[in-house]
Chains A and B, each alone.
Chain A
């Protein structure tokens, strides 16, 4: 299946300024598998999303469409075919 991952501006330094990535995944994959697939080619990008334990960083959110995976099964949330996945920093800081 194919998934489109939207990259926030602050992380495009890790994608050659690409605003999105098209990722091929096995059917039934979850968010963790999606991040692992991206991380195989781009480990520095995925280090910004998860720490070395595989935990989602506190001020980073992953949305599948309009749903925050924190409101689902976290990184075990299934990613449907054709989904748009957003990697988003929390609105915070100063």
Chain B
């Protein structure tokens, strides 16, 4: 039987919500990996059976990466540790920030992004990862600075048609891209503002890009939610233009692309930069169906007043259903879901620890 599954990574473990009635009702289970901060998770449906991934970190016992081949009934932490910085780097893994399964025709390829900012590649479906040396050795590295959550590589966007191309994003550092399979990387931030920087508001790099997304059928078009500013690039990141007009605020952490509709994106604005709460204290999702030219409030069913929670950069996602489901979890421990592309919302989990990440997909 096919279910819709939502992985909910929180400050104190991983919860799982499942629905077997096309997302009309949900069963919540957890926590797995209790008392671990789960900042990254993924549902990989490419193999013979689904594999779940979790990047967990204990404030005492450090970070670890685990997987489950039985939908969370048990978790395996491989030996040796899947992600371990080589001795010559004199670095240590602080947190796994992103886990990105590769394309369908390469079912063993998995990417990961970490703190300190680094890109990792696995060719054995996440059992072991290799450090991307080109990005690690980048001369800009010494000038990348940690954001509030740490120096993180949090976004990985493999090119859907050309395996030699990829974009990544870091806070701080900004967007970087490779066209030679990761051997060399160049910044791709032209037009993105770094308003928090003292000298240069449009630097070549150093921006605090919070999230970047793109649709696989339109790989040249990228969308970015920046630390102040919402942007679109129509030329693979060569240049960016603001698409913030029409939003109640240009700050936020999320950027999600509709999986079946190139040019349709979702954001959750926050009052910039000091308050970091939703405008007018209302829980609001904004959708654009024209690549950011215009925005509409799609918040029916969401809390209407005195809502002060934020949504972290990986706290919003879509599922793979024919009619797209959208999900977001808040730092106040709620998870909201829409089974109809954002038209209607309901709360599917509440009173959890701070939600750090959500991922959704169909599993059987």
Contact = CB atoms under 8 A, between A and B. Distances in A.
A51 B62 contact: yes
Contacts of A60: 60-61
Contacts of A19: none
Given A43-B80, A53-B87, A48 B92 contact: no
A11 interface: yes
A55 B93 CA distance: 12
A44 B60 contact: no
Interface residues of B, number: 18
Interface size class of A (residues with CB under 8 A): 10 to 19
Interface in A28-79: 43-44, 47-49, 51-53, 55, 57, 59-60
A44 B93 CA distance: 14
Contacts of A80: none
Given A43-B80, A47-B81, A52 B92 contact: yes
Contact of B60 (A43, A51, A53, A93): A93
A48 B58 contact: yes
Contacts of B91: 53
Secondary structure dominating the interface of A:
loop
A59 B87 contact: no
B48 interface: no
Contacts, number: 48
Contact of A10 (B60, B64, B77): B60
Interface in B53-90: 58-62, 64, 77, 79-81, 84-85, 87, 90
Contacts of B61: 10-11, 47-49, 57, 60, 89
B110 to A, nearest CB: 20
Contact of A53 (B35, B79, B92): B92
Q: Which one of A51, A55, A92 has the highest number of Cβ atoms from chain B below 10 Å of its Cβ? A: A51
Nearest to A44: B77
B136 to A, nearest CB: 14
B88 to A, nearest CB: 11
A37 B191 CA distance: 54
Contacts of A55: 92
A50 B335 CA distance: 35
A43 B92 contact: no
A60 B79 CA distance: 21
Contacts of B84: 52
A59 B60 contact: yes
Interface of A: 10-11, 43-44, 47-49, 51-53, 55, 57, 59-60, 89-90, 92-93
A-B interface, 4 closest residue pairs, ranked by CB to CB distance from nearest: A48-B61, A51-B92, A89-B60, A52-B84
Interface of B: 35, 58-62, 64, 77, 79-81, 84-85, 87, 90-93
Given A48-B58, A89-B61, 12 more contacts: A10-B35, A10-B60, A43-B81, A47-B64, A48-B60, A52-B85, A57-B60, A59-B59, A90-B60, A92-B59, A93-B59, A93-B60
